[in-house]
Chain A
Amino acid sequence: MNLNVKLTNISNFEHSEFNFRSGCINILEMPNAAGKSAILKAIATAYSFPLKSRIAEESATRLGIWRKVPPQPLAKIGSSRGIIEIKANGDVRTCIIETQEDIIVNQDGDEKFLFTSFVSIESELFRRISGGEDSLKWLLPAVSKVEDYERVLNVVFSIFDKIEKSLQITKDKKSHLELLKSEIERTKEELTIVEQELEDINQEIEKAKDKMDPELKKKYEKTSAKIENLRTKINEKEKEVKNSSNDLRRLAKEIERHKKELEDIDTKISEIDVELKQLGTDKEVKREIENIEKELDDLGKKRAIIQYRLKMFKSALSLNEGTCPLCGSGEFNKNYIQNRIEETQRELNKTDSEARAFTAKKENLARKLERIKDLNKKLPELLDKKQYIEREIDKLHREIEPIELKTRSLDNEIKALKSELAEKEELLNKLREKIMEKSEVKELYRKIELLLERKGELSARLSQKYEEIEEISKINILEREIPLDRAEELCKLYIAALNEVLNWLKNRINEQKKGFAERFNKSIDNVITRLKFKNLKVWIDSEDLRILIKRGESHQLIASLSLSEKSVIAVLLQIAIKEAFLPKVPIFLIDEVITDFDKERAYEVIKYLLEVAKEKDWIIILAKVGEKSSIMQISSIDEITKIF
């Protein structure tokens, strides 16, 4: 397999092409600052973009591959766009690096490439090991789903907590409800006793009244009836006032709910405004699409011309050798025509590759345009909804006005009735005094007054308890109002399920960690065995993912190693990581580091890499500083010494 890398306006390269082979070690030799790292970074870009995680973005930024805020570092300074084209066995990857924007790829790579397949002093693992870090925890989210499961675990925990709290509140409310019910029972019993006593006393008074003056008796009865009538009226009016107050509370709640909806809509509107500002106008995007379409059109025309030329050259081949295809006489060079055919074919391939990149960019812009259209459609919908809710609020306010008026008028009526009642009660008191002077009922009336007072107190207490029951009869669980009698069962159901889900998530996270450690340990063990480093053992702890090193019988910490030993360990770990976590992408890039080892170690590591390259048909590129620029292929062990 061959890896063909074409760079246009990348780093120092205006138009350059490099070829690497699989099954051997490709030694990329260049003088300092000639751009060998840029070639490796370009390959890494093509195989890792688009980036999805924060750690990959940070790593790419440190490597000088990408920046969140342009200009993009890989593009040639002064150029508006750099292009990386990579061909390997029919797989064509094109990356367009828009200097002032972002990196666009025609096919998705895998961001794991950055952590597994590229070693340099700036690469993530090398940097961490050189700094004495002795854990591979950082790699776990990059090559597994642990971070995603942990994010879900935290959310499920917080929901679980909320439901546990709701269950506690439900239980508290239920015991309060029981208490209220027994208090109501007691109050009702007491009320029955008071009413019975009142009835008994009234009967006694009736008997006493029979003995009094008929004129006085008549007046007394008439006033009593009037008082009773007034009390009934006052009760009715007060009931009406209570209903009105309930209505007013309900309307106020509805207004509150609508206001909350309005706030949510305003937030959404401002979010859309911000996104629209970031995306630009549809006209701008359309213009960009038009420009790309024009470029594509031009490329189409260019392609037709190239194809025509290709056809002409191919047909020229069928002419007799020795005859000029233009004038039919003179020199005709078949080799020359064949060279032109190859050249034209390359030109055609390049045009196709450019067209693919433009098409990818166009698709990207089309998605952007769709999003803009979508947001522009949503915006008036939200504004309509906002207006509708505002109208609803106005309507509710208009509903409130007559109720408030009615309440005020009822209050006035009650006031008038109460004043009339006071007058009649005064009159009745006077009549009663007259009766009392004449009879033995004085004590009975005193008792009635006390009992009526007690009855009023008990009735008020009863209605207060009923109101409390009404208030605690519902509970909010996950933003839903649930009747109290159903809430406990529902909370318990949720808790049982979430408990199991939490266990399941913890198991998934442990499985991921364990799987990560197992794969890595198997891989590093294989690397060390094959390198015949008999006294060395390296592995990671499956719990805390700490890197453990044992040399002979003694354990060593990464931090205690010399800088060159750290480099060797970093390279061994990197090879093991590559073999464990991204073996399917057969490319491994090494920017110097190994050539800085002492010769013996470097020889062993390169020998091992050569074996891997042959066995797995990998393309391994080792960049090193040299006087001239060249690519040398090392295919046998005997050739390794050429490197040094």
Chain B
Amino acid sequence: MGNVQNISSKRNSPEDIIKALINVIEGLVEERAPTDVIEEKIIEELRRF
């Protein structure tokens, strides 16, 4: 019942997220991605942590 996600028990630091997000953003800027794609990719990246 419900769709509670499994959250990784591994503790992540903000630095890990910052690094990953900057990486994604550089790619999005390079390909001049539209707003909806930017939002989707950033949320997707955040959800990995």
CB distance from A356 to the nearest CB of B (A): 27
Residues of A within 8 A of B3 (CB): 481
| B17 pairs with A481, CB closer than 8 A | no
| A155 pairs with B22, CB closer than 8 A | no
Residues of A within 8 A of B43 (CB): 159, 478-479
Q: Tell which of A53, A155, A480, A505 has the most Cβ of chain B within 10 Å.
A: A155
State the CA gap A493–B49 with chains docked (Å): 9
| B4 pairs with A155, CB closer than 8 A | no
| A145 pairs with B25, CB closer than 8 A | no
Query: Known: A159-B39, A501-B22. Contact between A480 and B29, CB under 8 A?
Result: no
- Residues 478-504 of A, flagged 1 when their CB comes within 8 A of B and 0 if not, give 111111001000100110111011001
Query: Known: A478-B47, A501-B21. Contact between A148 and B29, CB under 8 A?
Result: yes
Indicate if A294 sits at the interface (CB-CB under 8 A).
Answer: no
State the CA gap A500–B14 with chains docked (Å): 9
Of the residues A152, A478, A480, A500, contact of B38 by C-beta under 8 Å: A152
| B17 pairs with A493, CB closer than 8 A | yes
Of the residues A158, A480, A500, contact of B5 by C-beta under 8 Å: A480
| A148 pairs with B18, CB closer than 8 A | no
| B22 pairs with A474, CB closer than 8 A | no
The chain A residue with its CB closest to the CB of B16 is A497
Indicate if A232 sits at the interface (CB-CB under 8 A).
Answer: no
Residues of A within 8 A of B22 (CB): 501, 504
CB distance from A23 to the nearest CB of B (A): 36
Of the residues B4, B32, B38, B47, contact of A483 by C-beta under 8 Å: B4
Residues of B within 8 A of A504 (CB): 18, 22
Indicate if A239 sits at the interface (CB-CB under 8 A).
Answer: no
| A490 pairs with B32, CB closer than 8 A | no
- Residues 13-49 of B, flagged 1 when their CB comes within 8 A of A and 0 if not, give 1100110011001001100111100110011001101
State the CA gap A156–B35 with chains docked (Å): 10
Residues of A within 8 A of B1 (CB): 250
Query: Known: A155-B39, A159-B42, A481-B2. Contact between A52 and B32, CB under 8 A?
Result: yes
Interface of A is mostly: helix
Residues of A within 8 A of B7 (CB): 482-483, 486, 490
| B29 pairs with A149, CB closer than 8 A | yes
State the CA gap A126–B29 with chains docked (Å): 29
| B25 pairs with A159, CB closer than 8 A | no
The size of the chain A interface, using a CB distance under 8 A, is 31
State the CA gap A483–B9 with chains docked (Å): 13
State the CA gap A317–B7 with chains docked (Å): 82
Q: Which of A39-65 contact B (CB under 8 A)?
A: 52-53
State the CA gap A158–B4 with chains docked (Å): 24
Of the residues B2, B4, B25, contact of A152 by C-beta under 8 Å: B25
Of the residues A148, A496, A497, A500, contact of B32 by C-beta under 8 Å: A148
The chain A residue with its CB closest to the CB of B34 is A151
| B46 pairs with A481, CB closer than 8 A | no
Indicate if A154 sits at the interface (CB-CB under 8 A).
Answer: yes
The chain A residue with its CB closest to the CB of B2 is A481
Q: Tell which of B1, B29, B35 has the most Cβ of chain A within 10 Å.
A: B29
| A474 pairs with B4, CB closer than 8 A | yes
Residues of A within 8 A of B4 (CB): 474, 481-483
Residues of B within 8 A of A490 (CB): 7, 49
State the CA gap A486–B34 with chains docked (Å): 32
CB distance from A164 to the nearest CB of B (A): 14
State the CA gap A155–B22 with chains docked (Å): 14
Of the residues A145, A151, A497, contact of B21 by C-beta under 8 Å: A497
| A501 pairs with B5, CB closer than 8 A | no
| B46 pairs with A478, CB closer than 8 A | yes
Residues of A within 8 A of B33 (CB): 148
Q: Tell which of B4, B13, B14, B32 has the most Cβ of chain A within 10 Å.
A: B14
Q: Which of A453-474 contact B (CB under 8 A)?
A: 474
Q: Which of A102-155 contact B (CB under 8 A)?
A: 145, 148-149, 151-152, 154-155
State the CA gap A241–B17 with chains docked (Å): 47
CB distance from A499 to the nearest CB of B (A): 8
| B38 pairs with A155, CB closer than 8 A | yes
The chain B residue with its CB closest to the CB of A493 is B14
Query: Known: A152-B29, A155-B42. Contact between A480 and B2, CB under 8 A?
Result: no
| B28 pairs with A152, CB closer than 8 A | yes
Residues of A within 8 A of B12 (CB): 493
State the CA gap A559–B13 with chains docked (Å): 53
Residues of A within 8 A of B14 (CB): 493, 496-497, 500
State the CA gap A496–B4 with chains docked (Å): 24
Residues of B within 8 A of A159 (CB): 39, 42-43, 46
Residues of B within 8 A of A486 (CB): 7
| B46 pairs with A501, CB closer than 8 A | no
The chain A residue with its CB closest to the CB of B28 is A152
| A154 pairs with B42, CB closer than 8 A | no
CB distance from A505 to the nearest CB of B (A): 7
Residues of A within 8 A of B38 (CB): 151-152, 155
| B46 pairs with A494, CB closer than 8 A | yes
State the CA gap A158–B22 with chains docked (Å): 17
- 13 interchain pairs, CB-CB under 8 A: A52-B32, A148-B29, A148-B32, A149-B29, A151-B34, A151-B35, A159-B43, A482-B4, A482-B5, A490-B7, A497-B46, A501-B18, A501-B21
**B residues at A contact (CB < 8 Å):** 1-5, 7, 12-14, 17-18, 21-22, 25, 28-29, 32-35, 38-39, 42-43, 46-47, 49
**A residues at B contact (CB < 8 Å):** 52-53, 145, 148-149, 151-152, 154-156, 158-159, 250, 474, 478-483, 486, 490, 493-494, 496-498, 500-501, 504-505
Given A52-B32, A496-B14, output 15 extra A-B contacts at Cβ < 8 Å: A148-B29, A148-B32, A151-B38, A152-B29, A152-B42, A155-B35, A478-B46, A479-B43, A480-B5, A481-B2, A482-B7, A494-B46, A497-B46, A500-B14, A501-B21
Question: Nearest 5 CB-CB pairs, A to B?
Answer: A497-B17, A496-B14, A497-B14, A148-B29, A155-B38
